[in-house]
Amino acid sequence: MPELPEVETIKNQLAPHLTGRTFKSIKIYDTRPLGNLSEKEFGRRLTGQKITGLSRCGKYILIHLSGGSALVVHLRMTGSLLWNPRSAEPFTRAEFFFENKGRLVFTDIRRFGTLSIVEDTCKIKDRLGIDPLDTCFTPQALQKLLSGRKSPVKAVLLEQELIAGIGNMYADEALFAARIHPAIPAQSLSTGEVKRLHKAIQDVLKKAIRNKGASVRNYRCPDGQAGRAHEEFCVAHRGGEPCPRCGTAIARAVIRQRGTYYCPSCQPV
């Protein structure tokens, strides 16, 4: 968290505000997100750069710069990007100021998020798998990714080097929609099940984007508002509640160290 729908929402909301703006100054309150880059070097490489556009790569936000490099933001578990917040934000790690006014604030409670400047964004794309909203993500492509993998299908969906962007809660939702038990081996899915799963993945993600992401914990859109995708979750984070399809209590299990929600009746082993 944030996962693909949240990152896509952030990118979509920030793009109209940031595109065409020039970095005037940067304030760093915590150098941990910068990795090995010093605060001085980070500021030097951004100041005076004009933003030419924003894009998303998996769960990464790429802010493209006029010099050819990009500011890459990974929000990890609790990071947020807020545009012109009206008041001081707790857990602020960095602030970006622009010419002609405007302020972008990076907050992160658990300090796992990262801010980096890269010269070649292809290096990020090369280490990630296929984007589930890309046109090349077809049922056949998904079948190929699952083939020969004995791991639970839920675990395979979370492997970012195979499919980039799907996180824990959306994997649960997609598997429920496809009526597939999260613990069955990925390679055991039939052609029909793979087709159902492919459709479910895209439907679940697109619906969540329309609802501006899920605010199950501390995620906020750049305008400070909460997302509403979680309000329509069927199983994710709903352990013990009745299944909206059959009424059976939603179960919770741990699969490869990840909390997993499913309906024992609708998703039989």
Residues annotated catalytic, as ranges: 2-3, 59, 258
Q: Are 246 and 266 in contact (CB under 8 A)?
A: yes
3-state secondary structure the chain: CCCHHHHHHHHHHHHHHHCCCEEEEEEECCCHHHCCCCHHHHHHHHCCCEEEEEEEECCEEEEEECCCCEEEEECCCCEEEEECCCCCCCCEEEEEEECCCCEEEEEECCCCCEEEEECCCHHHHHCCCECCCCCCCCHHHHHHHHCCCCCEHHHHHCCCCCECCCCHHHHHHHHHHCCCCCCCEHHHCCHHHHHHHHHHHHHHHHHHHHCCCECCCCCCCCCCCCCEHHHHCCCCCCCCCECCCCCCECEEEEECCEEEEECCCCCCC
Cα 24 from Cα 220, distance rounded (Å):
25
CA–CA distance, 112 with 126 (Å, rounded to integer): 22
